[in-house]
Chains A and B, each alone.
Chain A
Amino acid sequence: MPTKLDVPTLQELKVDEIKVSSSVLKAAAHHYGSQCDKPNKEFMLCRWEEKDPRKCLEEGRKVNECALNFFRQIKGNCAESFTEYWTCLDYSNLAELRHCRKQQHAFDSCVLEKLGWERPDLGDLSKVTKVATSRPLPENPYHARPRPEPNQTIEGKLEPAKHGSRLFFWNW
């Protein structure tokens, strides 16, 4: 019997969105990955374990909060060098990071001296991490029907078949 699909209301979905374009995000990506690491990893863990976006709205809200704080801090402290960096990235179609090394260096040193953030080294963001969370592991995330019981064990002595496999003409 099909049940009703639970969709959260528009009020529950209302979150302060980050109104920022793609090159801005890409310019700040490495620092964002190292600073806002915790809520990000919790949200991804929740999403992948529950396999249901409706259950992870709270964590998504925390992700947005952390990102907003991050951008507010950058705007407060290192606005000019960040603006130069992302406008340089915005210039090319693919926003390749290797064309803007000078501005990246200026932005990194500004952020390091004002906020103490270090840019993560190559390969640091792709490392596998363990996430400590207070949410319990969901049992049966796929809502599977109860599995059938295994076959009963056969009591008694088992003999090999009397005339073999009896498949067509084989008698062994």
Chain B
Amino acid sequence: MAGSKVKQDMPPPGGYAPFDYKRNLPKRGLSGYSMFGIGIGIMVFGYWRLFKWNRERRRLQIEELEARIALMPLLQAEHDRRTLRMLRENLEEEAVIMKDVPGWKVGQNVFHTDRWVTPLSEELFNLRPREELLHKRFGFLWYV
């Protein structure tokens, strides 16, 4: 087209320096087996730590349960006394309330047997405000 006098963008004299144009995909890094090995090794280490911590948690749980075992007689005795006290108060209230009713035996057992029957909480909290019964039944529940 035009002559060689036109200013054009030409390669430098002597040409460009040689450069790599072939594919360069070097083989590097760990092999597949060793990657699996490292993964499995990390998992095994994780399991070992988990099992150790679970054993430690079991020991802690046993310690807390033993605290409960140690305190149980005290709490059971207090609970028994409380139940008997409430039954006694209910009996006295019943004597006061039902004194004019003919043919009513105060303190009559509801059952035909002599043995001790654990009283229901409805029976114990009969003459008390309803909040106390609800607290007894649901006071310590965390779920609905």
Contact = CB atoms under 8 A, between A and B. Distances in A.
B72 interface: yes
Task: Tell which of B87, B89, B111 has the most Cβ of chain A within 10 Å.
Answer: B87
B93 interface: no
Classify chain B: how many residues form its interface, as a range.
Answer: 35 or more
A41 B69 CA distance: 11
Classify chain A: how many residues form its interface, as a range.
Answer: 35 or more
B127 interface: no
Interface in A1-53: 1-5, 7-10, 13, 15, 17-18, 25-26, 29-30, 32-34, 39-41, 43-44, 47, 51-53
B122 interface: no
Nearest to A25: B71
Interface string B40-66: 000000000000000000011011111
Contact of A63 (B73, B83, B108): B73
Given A30-B67, A64-B77, A122-B63, A2 B84 contact: no
Interface of A: 1-5, 7-10, 13, 15, 17-18, 25-26, 29-30, 32-34, 39-41, 43-44, 47, 51-54, 56-57, 59-60, 63-64, 67, 96-98, 120, 122-126, 141-143
